[in-house]
Structure 1
Amino acid sequence: MTKNFDAQSLRDFARAMFLSAGLREDDAALVAGDLVKANLRGVDSHGVSRIPMYLERLRRGLVNPQPTVHVSKVAGAVAHVDGDNGMGFIASDVAMNAACDIAGEMGIGLAGVHRSTHFGMGACYALRAIERGYISLIFTNSSPAIPMWGGRTTFLGASPIAAGIPGGKHPPYVMDMAMTVIARGKIRLAAMKGDPIPEGLALDVEGVPTTDAAKAFEGVCLPFGGVKGSVLGTLMDLMSGVLTGANFGGDVKSLYFDHSGPQNVGHLFFALRPDLFMSLTDFGARMDDFYGRIKELPRAAGVDEIMLPGEPEARREVERLRDGIPVTDNVIADLTAEGARVGIDFPRALAAA
């Protein structure tokens, strides 16, 4: 069962919870905003359900609540960002903005991050770059979730890739996808609800295919597209981990199961000015032309409309801002309990329609 909640009430709750864990005012608001943004866009696996897990790592001293994020210019168009083991949202916000700043001057900007943690929904950073008028490409590595092709143990992370391209009069292109068949967080949500998962998504700890979400979450997620997903996952780890100085090759610590030390996740943020090869007006017109062409394509059976990547999520955000964000009863119970620990009330649900 689910109940619907006003987005601002969830932001206020999340912000208060992170303030109680020692985050600075601006940082707590940033993290809260990004988590609720994920819920608004329908990416509930990366939304407020993750608050207890983040708080646990903060309580254990594995995440620095008030990091000093340091940005070093290492080449004309490149910055290196030290996240100081703070929340990945914070270092990543700094890095995406640094990449955009450099791109404004140089045409293209690159920021590599090390000593970071899980950074939430990758689309948040693509949307930030779009708001500033830039094309973006975002890489990250993560804790082991999928095998190298041919292996049966976890080695590579789900390691999503995200990208954003500003539109003209029509919606922008926003892509955000993990290297797993589905995001590992969605398997976690299914496990929390006691729901099964479809075949072909995961193996249990013995390397046996399973539809049990709990066993799948403890086991191995399978890469999308078989060997192609594994190859892309390898690229994410090499570029985000090896290149930036972060952990790599199975060394990124699990958010959920490994409390032995900081994660040291690595990220890579590219920003590009869209007016490098033509005027911004011409670029916007070409994006509008592209959008118009896909809307006129012949549709497959059962398809009502062909949409640009990011368009379904943008529409869902409009709906959820109007009708509220659905939160499952088990997540409500977890968040209510977390709030009770520090004397913060979980908000009331919206009245049923």
Structure 2
Amino acid sequence: MAHYVTIPIPAASLQDLVQRIFEAAGCAPGEAHRVAEHLLGANLAGHDSHGVARVPRYVEWLEKGYVLAGQKVETITDGGGFVLLDGKFGLGQSVAREAAAIGISRAVTSGACIVGLRNAGHVGRIGEYAEQAIRDGILSIHFVNVAGSVLVAPFGGVERRFSTAPFCVGVPLPGDPVLLDFATSRVAEGKVLVASNGGKALPDDALIEPDGSMSGDPHTLYGDYAQVGPRDAAGGLGAIRAFGEHKGSGLAMICELLGGVLTGGGACGPITERGRIANGMLSIYLSPKHFGTEAEFHAAGRSYVDWVRAAKPIDPALPVLAPGDSEARLRADRLANGVPLQPDTWEGIKRCAIALGVAVP
């Protein structure tokens, strides 16, 4: 297994620094706390692609006006059991959490709610919104796209046609929830970002060049870039591949159609220039309590998940896991031992802080 250098940063110190950065960038303390908590939470869950490595990029978007601090969702259509919301290009960690709260509240009361959110700033790790629902006993399903971010080639193609188009499902089993959360691309764009900063190398077939050859080199996506500094996905000539061949490519298209087109935010393309991007998200919230005997659902669900985990593993040292198991283990480890950041990622965060006049511990 390849090894790469990391610097362990205490979780509390890292969250405090990120919060102060966003306060200096113009966010109110409450919103800065939400963004910092979300980004750190992604790192704690092992989703470094959606964690604090994105701080400099978020600050750049705030400075350019691509995302806006202090926004609240605007209701476009409200049918009770469904609602369409506009995020008004607010920070995704604020407007997506607000949208989720609306859907969860209505599902708790009425059994189900469908929420469409458009024009949200980068909403980050989708699993957080599923966890938000799980805390209230609500099952949720999320289809997400990124308008203005064309990164992924469809199965059989070399040209970009999809965003990384995440898909997520959270199932509330008490004490042992199931959380499935993944990009429909072979790797998330954030993993390419992390690799370009000296982090975990990409699989050799994660990217595709214009001639159809496979690549694990971040330059395929970004083109030339400095060791520390911004990355521009418009700079490369290649694309990220869809995961799972035709299956992942098909699911990516569905995420674009439901998360982007149906919500009114638009699919990822075609576009003529990059700049502002925006997430669209179609979320379905369901209350097991309203579907029958909740206790039976919990008991049967736990029994089934435990039976899956009990399958004989290929390697006795690597037991079969349910979705969300590895994230839970990583969270405990990183809270105890610090969040491992690549030196270039940490240097980028420090430079961002210093440029805003924020003291770095």
Extract unaligned runs of 5+ from structure 2.
Answer: 223-235
Residue 263 of structure 2 corresponds to: 244
Q: Partners of 2:204 and 2:50 in 1: how far apart?
A: 23
TM-aligned CA deviation for residue 253 of structure 1? 9.3
Name the stretch that deviates more: 199-208 or 283-292: 199-208
Deviations 1:65-107 (A, max 9, x none): 1213223552131111111111111111011111111112221
Q: Partners of 1:253 and 1:316 in 2: how far apart?
A: 40
Q: 1:198 aligns with which of 199, 203, 211?
A: 203
Residue 185 of structure 2 corresponds to: 180
User: How many correspondences in the alignment?
Assistant: 341
Amino acid at match of 2:359: D
Give 1:206-245 correspondences, 5 Å limit: 207-217=212-222, 218=236, 219-245=238-264
Distance change in 2, residues 1:345/1:97 (3 Å)? same
Tell me the SS of whatever aligns to 2:289: coil
Amino acid at match of 2:204: E
Residue 166 of structure 1 corresponds to: 172
Amino acid at match of 1:310: G
CA contact (8 A) 2:155 2:241 kept: no
Q: 2:349 aligns with which of 330, 335, 338?
A: 335
CA contact (8 A) 2:53 2:345 kept: yes
Amino acid at match of 1:66: G
Residue 98 of structure 2 corresponds to: 94
Deviations 1:114-160 (A, max 9, x none): 11121101111111111111101111102111123333211111111
Q: Partners of 1:232 and 1:41 in 2: how far apart?
A: 24
Q: Partners of 1:20 and 1:55 in 2: how far apart?
A: 10
Tell me the SS of whatever aligns to 2:65: coil
Amino acid at match of 1:222: R
Distance change in 2, residues 1:278/1:196 (3 Å)? closer
Q: Partners of 1:329 and 1:101 in 2: how far apart?
A: 42
Q: Partners of 2:200 and 2:132 in 1: how far apart?
A: 34
Distance change in 2, residues 1:134/1:47 (3 Å)? same
Name the stretch that deviates more: 154-163 or 16-25: 16-25
Give 1:2-13 correspondences, 5 Å limit: 2-13=6-17
CA contact (8 A) 1:79 1:110 kept: yes
Residue 128 of structure 1 corresponds to: 132
Deviations 1:158-215 (A, max 9, x none): 11101111113x4110011111112221112112218753322111355442232222
Q: Partners of 1:346 and 1:205 in 2: how far apart?
A: 42
Name the stretch that deviates more: 74-83 or 47-56: 74-83
Q: Partners of 2:199 and 2:169 in 1: how far apart?
A: 33
TM-score normalised to structure 1 length: 0.91
Residue 78 of structure 2 corresponds to: 74
Name the stretch that deviates more: 149-158 or 232-241: 149-158
Distance change in 2, residues 1:344/1:206 (3 Å)? farther
TM-aligned CA deviation for residue 229 of structure 1? 1.0
Residue 271 of structure 1 corresponds to: 285
Among the aligned pairs, what percent are the same residue?
28
Q: Partners of 1:104 and 1:271 in 2: how far apart?
A: 9
Amino acid at match of 1:88: G
CA contact (8 A) 2:154 2:241 kept: no
Distance change in 2, residues 1:205/1:343 (3 Å)? farther
Q: CA RMSD in A?
A: 1.9
Tell me the SS of whatever aligns to 1:144: coil
Residue 351 of structure 1 corresponds to: none
CA contact (8 A) 1:237 1:249 kept: yes
Residues 1:322 and 2:336 are matched in the alignment: yes
Q: Partners of 1:276 and 1:265 in 2: how far apart?
A: 30
Tell me the SS of whatever aligns to 1:291: helix
Q: Partners of 1:198 and 1:342 in 2: how far apart?
A: 36
